[in-house]
């Protein structure tokens, strides 16, 4: 009886010793791998080259300075989110910023330029606005970038980096719908003015030859398709006013200076 008990206790102690030894080996291996990984990441996976692609507007040196990536910095210590935020905050015309690590020693920063299709004058200040009504930048009044002049009123908030806001929130939605519909109809690049002082009587200057009276922001796809068909049927040098506020009673008045 005692012999069996002693054998059982011995087997239990042996099992514990094996378990402790295996645990020790596992911890040792993990420590070695961790140390090796840290050594590799801090000595070999480091920033030696930063590639910037997607803009001709800003000097590469300015973008690199904003990224604040030190030569030799371990890639593991770099925050892609922080680098992207630094670029977006310092360069208002750069959007869709992407930061990728090309191992072992290269950082690629890519983006695209978005100048905004719309120009808004408030008092003596000129702002550029994108298609989603985000205020991109405060512009010089002698800016040569071609944009659509937005004529409106009741702007409640116009701050760079934020969305353009009106006392009537529906106006922002109407503007987005109009710009989107013009873009889908492949007309946006030929628009010089959008007048939305009255959201029920929106006016557009198109091709520098026509004043489009589109009413409100309903049925825009149909309205713009009708405009293109009307203009296609007119003479090349014709100018005038096209009223499609109600597509059922649309009319054209030629010879009127738009």
Q: What is the pLDDT along the chain (258 residues), one digit of tens a residue?
A: 456 565 566 667 767 777 777 776 676 666 665 554 555 445 557 888 999 999 888 899 999 999 999 998 988 889 999 999 999 888 888 888 999 999 888 999 999 988 888 999 998 999 999 988 999 889 888 888 889 999 998 899 999 888 999 999 899 999 999 999 999 999 999 999 999 999 999 999 999 999 999 999 999 999 999 999 999 999 888 999 999 999 999 999 998 777
CA 161 to mean position of chain CA atoms:
11
Last residue of a domain, one of 96, 113, 130: 113
The residue among 166, 172, 169, 171 whose CA lies nearest residue 154 is 166
User: Cα separation of 159 and 136, whole Å?
Assistant: 9
Residue 23 lies in a domain: no
The pTM for the full model equals 0.69
231 lies in the same domain as 206: yes
Residue 204 lies in a domain: yes
105 lies in the same domain as 155: no
Residue 191 lies in a domain: yes
Domain holding 147, by residue range, is 118-254
Instruction: Say if strands 148-151 and 191-195 run parallel, antiparallel, or are unpaired.
Output: parallel
Residue 42 lies in a domain: no
Sequence-separated (6 or more) residues with CB below 8 Å from residue 21: none
Query: Domain of 71: which CATH number?
Result: 3.10.20.310
3-state DSSP assignment of residue 104: coil
* Total count of domains within the chain: 2
Strand order in the sheet with 94-102: 49-53, 106-113, 94-102
User: Cα separation of 73 and 47, whole Å?
Assistant: 5
Residue 152 lies in a domain: yes
């Amino acid at each position: 009886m005692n012999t069996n008990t002693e054998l059982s206790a011995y087997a239990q102690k042996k099992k514990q010793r094996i378990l402790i030894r295996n645990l020790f080996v596992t911890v040792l291996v993990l420590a070695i791998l961790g140390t090796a990984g840290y050594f590799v990441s801090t000595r070999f996976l480091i920033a030696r080259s930063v590639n910037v692609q997607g803009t001709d507007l800003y000097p590469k040196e300015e973008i690199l300075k904003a990224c604040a990536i030190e030569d030799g910095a371990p890639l593991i210590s770099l925050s892609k989110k922080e680098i992207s935020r630094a670029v977006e905050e310092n360069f208002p015309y750069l959007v869709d910023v992407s930061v990728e690590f090309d191992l072992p020693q290269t950082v690629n920063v890519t983006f695209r330029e978005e100048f905004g299709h719309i120009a808004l004058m408030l008092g003596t200040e000129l702002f550029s606005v994108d298609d989603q009504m985000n205020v991109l930048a405060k512009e010089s009044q002698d800016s040569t970038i071609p944009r659509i002049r937005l004529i409106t009123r009741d702007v409640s908030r116009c701050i760079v980096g934020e969305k353009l806001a009106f006392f009537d929130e529906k106006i922002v939605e109407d503007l987005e719908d109009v710009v989107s519909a013009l873009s889908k109809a492949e007309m946006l690049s030929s628009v010089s003015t959008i007048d939305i002082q009255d959201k029920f009587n929106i006016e557009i200057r198109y091709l520098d030859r026509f004043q489009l009276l589109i009413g409100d922001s309903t049925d825009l796809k149909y309205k713009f398709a009708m405009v293109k068909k009307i203009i296609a049927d007119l003479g090349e040098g014709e100018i005038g006013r096209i009223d499609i506020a109600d597509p059922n009673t649309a009319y054209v008045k030629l010879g009127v200076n738009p």
